[in-house]
Amino acid sequence: MRLSSKTADRLAGWLFIAPQLAGSAVFVFAPLCMVLWYSLHEWNVLADSFEFVGADNYQALLDDPSLPSVLRATGIFSVGLVVFNLSLALLLAVLLNQRLRGLAVYRTLFFSPVVVSLVAWTIVWGFLLQSNGGVNGLLQAVGIEGPNWLRTGPTAMVSVIAVQVFKNVGLNMVLFLAALQGVPGELYEAAQLDGASAWTRFRRITVPMISPTILLTSIITVVGSLQVFAQIAVLTQGGPGTSTTVLVYYLYQQAFQFHHFGYGSTLAILLFVIVLALTLVQWQLRRKWVVHEQ
């Protein structure tokens, strides 16, 4: 049997995307459907019971007294991370876009934490941030008595954000650097001839020209910030109190430590909805933010 050329083309198209589609089906869509299914059940792993409870877990979500503080901690972490990470990455990218001696060394230095194991990185920072650790040792050397970083609420959150920023700022820096190098030099020359200051050139030329990259990095960073886990697990275990108990860590506690797999799955659905909503909002706002989308 001979296939018509249109059918053959369609079949070839499906065959080309089949590996990707199969991967997504097995590792994304199927687990997503299973999590949705689990969220409708009370699953006690030890007792081996799996009971359909309908929307009970969703009702429990609405009634959960811990959830507001968890969402607040998640929001603080995400905002802190996005602002600190993107600002620092852009600053470093602008600095490293100059003609400096040893430029390659600096770029490698700032990028190197990205390739370090996250857990190893966090464990080392755990030691550095102890009351008698390296950070306070440095502060003491200049006459400052440092706080007990991981043992009080505000400094614990700042510490967790900083550890994450220093780990990943290099990735955003490289993306910004690539974008900066794509900005035509004539634009700056023309602006300079018109008497524009450095700040005006940055605001009126650099930022608009690299806005697609700013959108990309902000989406990656926001989504990444909502998925933070290892740093919390290693550095604070959600404490002191519940000040650094973010959504993913709370989900982990409910499902894997407290054995409430059904409720844990409900929290996973909540996380999915939040990530989806934020990504859609950012995507919609791109028309306003991103120059090339207009």
Question: Which residues are near other proteins by CB under 8 A?
Answer: 43-48, 127, 129-133, 148-152, 237-242, 253, 256-259, 261
Residue 48 Cβ vs other proteins, minimum distance, rounded to whole Å: 7
Tell me which residue has tokens 């009702």: 59
Minimum gap (Å) between residue 212 Cβ and other proteins: 41
Name the minimum Å distance from CB 193 to other proteins: 57
**Which residues fall within 8 angstroms of residue 217, CB to CB, at 6 or more apart?**
86, 89, 172, 175, 176
Cα dihedral 21→23→29→30 (10° resolution): 130
44 phi and psi angles, rounded to 5 deg: -100, 110
User: How near is the Cβ of 15 to other proteins at its closest, in Å?
Assistant: 24
Q: How many C-beta atoms lie closer than 10 Å to residue 148's C-beta? A: 15
Of 242 and 282, nearer to other proteins (C-beta) is 242
What SS3 state is found at 116?
coil
Q: Which two tokens stand for residue 262?
A: 């059904």
Listing DSSP states for 11-69 in one string gives HHHHHHHHHHHHHHIIIIIHHHHHHHHHTTEEEETTTTEEEE-TTHHHHHHHH-TTHHH
Whose Cβ is closer to other proteins: residue 84's or residue 249's?
Answer: 249
Q: Nearest distance from residue 94's CB to other proteins, in Å?
A: 36
Contact by Cβ (8 Å): 180, 210:
yes
CB of 271 vs other proteins, minimal distance in Å: 19
Q: Which amino acid is at 265?
A: S
Q: Which is nearer to other proteins, 148 or 211 (CB)?
A: 148
Question: Dmax over Cα atoms in the chain, in whole Å?
Answer: 85
Tell the smallest beta-carbon distance from residue 10 to other proteins (Å).
26
Can you tell me whether residue 99 is helix, strand or coil? coil
Tokens of 234: 């290693």
Residue number with CB closer to other proteins (75 or 240): 240
Taking the least distance from each CB to other proteins, the nearer of 172 and 245 is: 245
Q: Which is nearer to other proteins, 80 or 264 (CB)?
A: 264
Find how far residue 242's CA is from the centre of its chain. Answer: 21
Closer to other proteins by CB, 169 or 255: give it. 255
